[in-house]
Structure 1
Amino acid sequence: MEWFTASEYWLSRLVFQRALAALYLVAFLTAALQFRALIGERGLLPVPRYLARLPFKVAPSLFHLHYSDRFFAVCAWSGCAVSAALLAGVDALLPLWGAMLLWLVPWALYLSIVNVGQTWYSFGWESLLLEVGFLAVLLGNDEVAPPIVVLFLLRWILFRVEFGAGLIKMRGDDCWRKLTCLYHHHETQPMPGPLSWFFHHLPRPLHRAEAAANHVTQLVVPFLLFTPQPIATAAASLMILTQLWLVLSGNFSWLNWITIALALSALRLPDTAPSVPDAPVWYSAVVLAVSAVLLALSYRPVRNMISRRQVMNRSFDPLHLVNTYGAFGSVSRVRYEVVIEGTADDVPRADSDWREYEFKGKPGDPRRWPRQFAPYHLRLDWLMWFAALSPAYAGSWFGTLVERLLENDRATLRLLRRSPFPPDAPPRYVRARLFRYRYTTWRELRETGACWERTYVREFLPPTRLAAERAYP
């Protein structure tokens, strides 16, 4: 069955698998460190309350069988352990069936998390990790050469990620067609990185060249993935370079990194693959059968891509096996930020001692320079960006966030960079105000040392206190 495998992609598979294992590790670590405050029993959107109205068939998850914060922590840290084992290459030491089962474990655990994660796990890269992770189960280990059909399906995902993103841009915002979106994007993106200020101040002709290059990479180059080598390798390499540019310009969680991992699987790297026997019949049958199902399920994302009403980041099945992707179908021209403040004063006044809560990633203090967090995902910081776009995005959780701040809740405060109040003295009142942020100019940066300039817009939430006073130790 020489037609079934491609031994020349032996090293490409190895690099892809280790990269995917590293991303799994980051995803599970993010879940383990943030879940209590976000979806725990006392979280902003508690899992038990969600499960009470959600049938298993709609969102399959281990947590339908049992939920407790301790059990969630066991699942998340177990995912970290299995991901670390895969990163170390343990799958190569197992028989083929054992390696497949080992790769199935992080997929099943992360599916369980995503399907109860609600708003906090509504990002496209969650489904992308699951779709790619499921295919990794079929890739095999050192006992068999990489199956051609699985390599094709990995390229098919990469095609949909890039081409879908290109289409949504051309349909969604005329600034992409005019090549002017990058006049604003680096300033208004969800979470700027340490170099975003400099990217924003690049000459406008270069911004236009960036946008044009993006259209070529997303609308033309993806078709070259299905051409003979070395053209396919050149296409994948160009995608990797584009994604690295995006890594430098902002914090997009693991979206860029998993796209790079997919592109790595399409590279034909120089290597000397060991001689292995033909793939077992049972393995070939499983791979071909599952691949046929996945190709059939691809009908829905393809139909979405060619539709004039194309949507971004939608899963079409509860297992997240085949999904549609896209990013920045529209670009904000102005950046708004919600600034949360608290005071210990008994009566809240405009001249009270209002102290600002500092977030880890989202802009706050105009003098604080953005940091690099990706591929780690700061979920609360991202949702605060959406809240600034419209209060409707925060309607289900923002009030509970304020309540937790009034309680000095430890789990919630761990999501922040700094609380202005000591652990034993919570604020009496918390308020939120909306500000407009813009990058300073080179001159303003030299004179003030601030990378941001902010202007008050309006009240987002009036001074709020707990409904009933509580005793604190």
Structure 2
Amino acid sequence: MEWFTASEYWLSRLVFQRALAALYLVAFLTAALQFRALIGERGLLPVPRYLSRLPFKVAPSLFHLHYSDRFFAVCAWAGCAVSAALLAGVDALLPLWGAMLLWLVPWALYLSIVNVGQTWYSFGWESLLLEVGFLAVLLGNDEVAPPIVVLFLLRWILFRVEFGAGLIKMRGDDCWRKLTCLYHHHETQPMPGPLSWFFHHLPRPLHRVEAAANHVTQLVVPFLLFTPQPVATAAASLMILTQLWLVLSGNFSWLNWITIALALSALRLPDTAPSVPDAPVWYSAVVLTVSALLLALGYRPVRNMISRRQVMNRSFDPLHLVNTYGAFGSVSRVRYEVVIEGTADDVPRADSDWREYEFKGKPGDPRRWPRQFAPYHLRLDWLMWFAALSPAYAGSWFGTLVERLLENDRATLKLLRSSPFPPDAPPRFVRARLFRYRYTTWRELRETGACWERTYVREYLPPTRLAAERVRP
């Protein structure tokens, strides 16, 4: 069965598995720390209400059997524990079947969370983590060399991530074809990072070079993943460098890091793999059968990629085994932000003492410099970016968010950087206003110390109080 495995990828598998375990840990930690306010029993989009109209076959989840905030917390923290164990290499101490079952646990737990997470878990990297995590179950441990077919499938995912993103750009916004999208992207991306201001102020010719290099990396280089070594390693290395550039330029949750992990699995790293026996027959049968199933299911993302009506970030099955990916098919030219304010005044007037709520990641105070949060995912901050694009994106949860702020709800306030009101004195009214944000110039930064300049656009939500009928945007 020498044809079945590739011992020269022993170290590549090890590095990939530990990187994936670290990303699982971040994902479960994000879920554990944010779920109560977002999807808990008193969350903005409660899981029990969602499950009441959701059949199991549409979205398989452990929470169909039982849901409580305590049970969710147990699942999320259990996912953290198993991920930490995998990161520490516990799977190498188990028999092959035990290691496979151990890798199956975080996949099943995270699938249960994603399938009830609603809009808070609608991002492409959620499905990507699940698709990659399912393949990790088949990779084996120190008892066998890495199966060639699984290594191929990991490259196939990486190909679809990069090539799909490249196609959606070329078919979408014409600024990608004109190489001008990066004139705007660093300023209007969902959550800027600490270096995004500087990226935005790079010379425009360099922005055009960035865009052109992006097209090469996403539309040409992916094909080289399936060529002989060392070309495949060179292609994967170039993808890693590109992803690290993106890591520096913004906060994109774990999207860049899981892409890097996939590329690591394609590297031919120097190592001295131990001598191991041939793969057991049962293991070979399981790997080949499941791989054949995944390849058969893969026609749907392929059909989507070649379609003129290509869509981004969609799963084609309830288990998220095969998915389509893509990012920034269109780029905003102007940045808008929803600023939420409260007042303790009995009558809300324009000259009332309105105090602003500060979010952890999204822009607020023009003088506050963005921080690095990725790969940790600030879900509310990301959805606030969508809410600024259109109130339609926030219609299902924004009104409840305002209600929770009027209550000084502890779980909700934990999602924010700061509240302007003490715990025992909630605001009487809360309002939301829409502002246009732009990066300051070098001169403005020196003179004011502010990285943003903002201009009032319009009212987003009029002053609202608990005793009044809730108004949605």
Shorter-chain TM range is: over 0.9
Q: Deviations over 1:379-426 (max 9, x none)?
A: 000000000000000000000000000000000000000000000000
Deviation per residue, 1:359-397 (Å, 9 max, x gap): 000000000000000000000000000000000000000
1:234 matched to 2:228:
no
Match of 1:300 in 2: 300
Alpha-carbon displacement from aligned partner over 1:284-307 (angstroms, at most 9, x marks no partner)? 000000000000000000000000
Report the secondary structure of 1:446's partner residue: helix
CA contact (8 A) 2:193 2:372 kept: yes
| DSSP 3-state at the match of 2:404 | helix
Supply the distance in 1 between the matched residues of 2:451 and 2:469 (Cα, whole angstroms).
40
Task: Please list the CA deviations of residues 225-281 of structure 1 after superposition, one character each: whole Å capped at 9, or x if unmatched.
Answer: 000000000000000000000000000000000000000000000000000000000
Q: TM-score, normalised by structure 1?
A: 0.99
Alignment partners' CA distance in 2, 1:54 and 1:472: 25
* 1:437–1:452 CA contact under 8 A, matched in 2: yes
What is the SS of the residue equivalent to 2:336? Answer: strand
Change (3 A) 1:163 1:351: same
Quote how far apart the aligned CAs of 1:468 are: 6.6
Q: Kindly state the Cα deviation for residue 467 of structure 1 after the two structures are TM-superposed.
A: 2.4
- 1:170–1:470 Cα change, 3 Å: closer
Residue in 2 that maps onto 1:356: 356
Deviation at 1:334, TM superposition (A): 0.1
Aligned partners of 1:172 and 1:427: how far apart in 2? 44
1:175-208 deviation digits (Å, cap 9, x = unpaired)? 0000000000000000000000000000000000
DSSP 3-state at the match of 2:348 = coil
Structure 1 residue 470 displacement after superposition: 15
Q: Which residue of 1 aligns with 2:313?
A: 313
Deviation, 1:3, is 0.1
Change (3 A) 1:469 1:460: closer
Distance 1:38 1:392 in 2: 18
Separation in structure 1 between the aligned mates of residue 335 and residue 176 of structure 2, nearest angstrom: 18
How far apart in 2 are the matches of 1:296 and 1:443?
A: 57
CA contact (8 A) 1:336 1:436 kept: yes
Q: In the aligned structure 1, how far is the partner of 2:405 from the partner of 2:63?
A: 28
Deviation at 1:472, TM superposition (A): 25
1:469 positional shift = 12
Cα pair 1:101 1:137 within 8 Å, conserved: yes
The structure-2 alpha-carbon separation of the partners of 1:85 and 1:350, relative to structure 1 and needing over 3 Å to count, comes to same
Q: Is the 8 A contact 2:130 2:320 kept in 1?
A: yes
Q: Is the 8 A contact 2:464 2:471 kept in 1?
A: no
Unaligned segments of structure 2, at least 5 residues? none
C-alpha distance in structure 2 between counterparts of 1:396 and 1:471, whole Å: 12
Instruction: Specify the SS of the correspondent of 2:265.
Output: helix
RMSD: 2.2
List per-residue Cα deviations over 1:413-440 (Å, max 9, x = no partner): 0000000000000000000000000000
Shift in alpha-carbon separation, 1:13–1:57, aligned structure 2, 3 A: same
Distance across 1 between alignment mates of 2:232 and 2:472: 63
* Partner residue, 1:385: 385
Q: Tell me, what secondary structure is at the counterpart of 2:228?
A: coil
Aligned to 2:60: 60
CA distance in 1, matches of 2:468, 2:255: 43
Within 2, Cα distance between the matches of 1:245 and 1:343? Answer: 42
Rate the CA distance shift 1:471–1:181 in 2: closer, same or farther, 3 A. closer
Give the superposition deviation at 1:171.
0.3
**Cα distance change on mapping 1:271 and 1:398 into 2, 3 Å:** same
Matched pairs, number = 473
Deviation of residue 283 (structure 1)? Answer: 0.1
In the alignment, what sits opposite 1:331?
A: 331
1:150-197: CA deviation from partner (whole Å, max 9, x where unpaired): 000000000000000000000000000000000000000000000000
User: How far 1:451 sits from its partner (Å)?
Assistant: 0.1
Structure-2 separation of matches of 1:277 and 1:73: 41
8 Å contact from structure 2 (residues 184, 332) kept in 1: yes
Q: Is the 8 A contact 1:23 1:258 kept in 2?
A: yes
Return the TM-score normalized by structure 2: 0.99
Cα distance in 2, alignment partners of residues 92 and 200 from structure 1: 45
Contact 2:313 2:325 in 1 (8 A): yes
Contact 1:424–1:472 (Cα < 8 Å) also in 2:
no
Deviations 1:18-46 (A, max 9, x none): 00000000000000000000000000000
Aligned 8 A contact 1:367 1:449 in 2? yes
Q: Distance in 1 between matches of 2:469 and 2:255?
A: 44
- Aligned residue for 1:191? 191
Cα distance in 2 for partners of 1:120, 1:19 equals: 24
In the alignment, which residue of structure 2 is the partner of 1:173?
173
1:472 to 1:140, Cα distance in 2 relative to 1, 3 A: closer
How many Å separate the matches in 2 of 1:222 and 1:214?
A: 12
CA contact (8 A) 2:398 2:472 kept: no
Identify the residue that residue 21 of structure 1 maps to in structure 2: 21
Encode CA deviations 1:88-116: one digit per residue, 9 max, x unaligned: 00000000000000000000000000000
Q: Mark the CA change 1:471 to 1:315 in structure 2 (over 3 Å): closer, same or farther.
A: closer
Compared with structure 1, are the counterparts of its residues 50 and 436 closer, same or farther at alpha carbon in structure 2 (3 Å cutoff)?
same
* Paired residues of 1:38 and 1:46 also in contact (CA < 8 A): yes
Query: Distance in 1 between the 2:234 and 2:468 partners?
Result: 64
Q: Give the conservation status (yes or no) of the 8 Å contact 1:345–1:428.
A: yes
How far has the Cα of 1:351 moved from its partner? 0.0
Cα distance in 1 for residues equivalent to 2:252 and 2:54 = 30
Closer/same/farther in 2, CA of residues 471 and 230 from structure 1, 3 Å limit: closer
* Match of residue 102 from structure 1: 102
Q: Is the 8 A contact 2:221 2:235 kept in 1?
A: yes
Q: Percent identity?
A: 97
Is 1:262 the counterpart of 2:269? The answer is no
Superposed CA deviations along residues 60-82 of structure 1, whole A, max 9, x for unmatched, are: 00000000000000000000000
Secondary structure of 1:266 counterpart: coil
Q: CA deviation at 1:458?
A: 0.1
Determine the C-alpha separation between the residues in 2 that align with 1:51 and 1:243.
Answer: 37
Give the corresponding residue for 1:407: 407
Once residues 149 and 234 of structure 1 are traced to their aligned partners in structure 2, the CA distance between those partners, rounded to angstroms, is 21
Look up the SS of the partner of 1:454 in the other structure.
strand
Match of 1:201 in 2: 201
How big is the shift at 1:471? 22
* Counterpart Cα distance in 2 of 1:249 and 1:334: 18
Rounded Cα–Cα distance in structure 1 between residues aligned with 2:75 and 2:441: 47
Report the secondary structure of 2:301's partner residue: helix
CA contact (8 A) 2:399 2:472 kept: no
Paired residues of 2:461 and 2:472 also in contact (CA < 8 A): no
Contact 1:166 1:218 in 2 (8 A): yes
Structure 1 460/469 Cα, relative in aligned 2: closer, same or farther at 3 Å? closer
Per-residue CA deviations over 1:298-342 (Å, capped at 9, x if unaligned) read: 000000000000000000000000000000000000000000000
